[in-house]
Amino acid sequence: MWVKPVELSKHVKRLAAEVGFNRCGITTAEPIGRADYFRAWLAGGRAGSMSYLHRYFNERTDPRALLRGARSVIVVALSYHQPTPVREADGYVRGRVARYAWGEDYHVVLRRKLSQMIERLRGDVPESSQFRVCVDTAPLIEREFAARAGIGWIGKNTMALNQELGSYFFLGAIVTTLELAPDAPAVDHCGSCTACLDACPTKAFPQPYEMDASRCISYLTIEHRREIPEEFQPAIGDWLFGCDVCQEVCPFNRHAPTTVESAFTPRSPNPAPSVDEVLSWSAGDYSRELRGSAMKRAKLDMLQRNARIIKENDEESKSQNDK
């Protein structure tokens, strides 16, 4: 039985490494320090049509509202970075997919690993110990706790950044009643760099460290259910699902290690689907082609909406080149 928080914390981190996580940090279950900022961000309409973000405010900002008696938050990071496959010209108009959705649904992968951690921990802690797994869909702002747990700072593009891993990693958390020794918060290393802000096609960053999600290509292609405003359609370019632009230009991603998690291996040799194929999908095709993929976050009509925009952008580009 583990007694000292410091020793138990070391054990937790060993378990995290053994199940395959790249990083593990620990923080207290106190509320985030930027709850007022988050409230103002929502009130300012920055969440666009993501009405669900307005719900469960207390749970998103205070782990103790998620789990009664919570004392600690264990935060883990799992890299999904991998090189972009060489795309041979094949005559098809293709839509790019954000790297995180190339392989198996990360929700499933992280939950599986976090559950393994908890299962192994239960034999070493009091039976009364409680745990709550959080992987994106749970109402907890994981990156805030990741920064406080030393996993990585929140960059100017509002993503968690780590000096070695870059930003191509998933975050997961375990809220627990265990008393653990907290880590020191991460230090911001963005400096004077503004590459991510300058490269954003839709100018979704009103200022450093603040995103207007209603202008973000990831939001527009994945979360926005209605037609995409015309002003943003040219900037969508060939993004079918999500966007990696602000990550692609980040200096910390230049040497990011390739993931060793086989579940994130691209489901297809070419993770950029043909837009004509997507436009031809039936409901059955959609379910079959995207079974086990995070891409199912976007409904069929949304993917086909995105595919139409990509096709129109391609036709416009060819027309301009012919002039």
Q: What is the pLDDT of residues 300-311, one digit of tens each?
A: 999 999 999 999
Phi first, then psi, for residue 217 (nearest 5°) are -65, -35
Domain boundary among 126, 149, 176: 176
Question: Number of folded domains in the chain?
Answer: 2
In sequence order, what DSSP letters do the residues of 17-74 get, joined into one string?
HHTT-SEEEEEESPPPTTHHHHHHHHHTTTTTT-GGGGS-HHHHH-HHHHSTT--EEE
- Residue 263: inside a domain: yes
Q: How open is the CA angle 311-84-313, to the nearest 5 degrees? A: 15
Q: Are 80 and 259 in contact (CB under 8 A)?
A: yes
pLDDT of residue 211: 95
Q: What count of Cα atoms within 13 Å lies in the side-chain half-sphere of residue 221?
A: 29
The answer on 146 and 232 residing in a single domain is no
pTM for this predicted structure: 0.94
- Residue 189: inside a domain: no
Give the domain extent around 31: 5-90+102-176
Distance CA 82, CA 190 (A): 23
* % of the chain residues with pLDDT over 70: 98
DSSP-derived secondary structure letter, 171: E
322 included as an active-site residue? no
- Residue 30: inside a domain: yes
- Residue 222: inside a domain: yes
- Residue 267: inside a domain: yes
The answer on 171 and 293 residing in a single domain is no
Domain boundary among 176, 209, 234: 176
The answer on 159 and 218 residing in a single domain is no
The active-site residue out of 62, 90, 136, 212 is 136
pLDDT in tens, 44-89: 989 888 988 888 888 899 999 999 999 999 999 999 999 887 777 7
The answer on 157 and 10 residing in a single domain is yes
Q: Are 228 and 48 in contact (CB under 8 A)?
A: no
Looking at the predicted structure, is the pLDDT value of residue 2 above 60?
no
The answer on 120 and 27 residing in a single domain is yes
pLDDT in tens, 246-256: 999 999 999 99
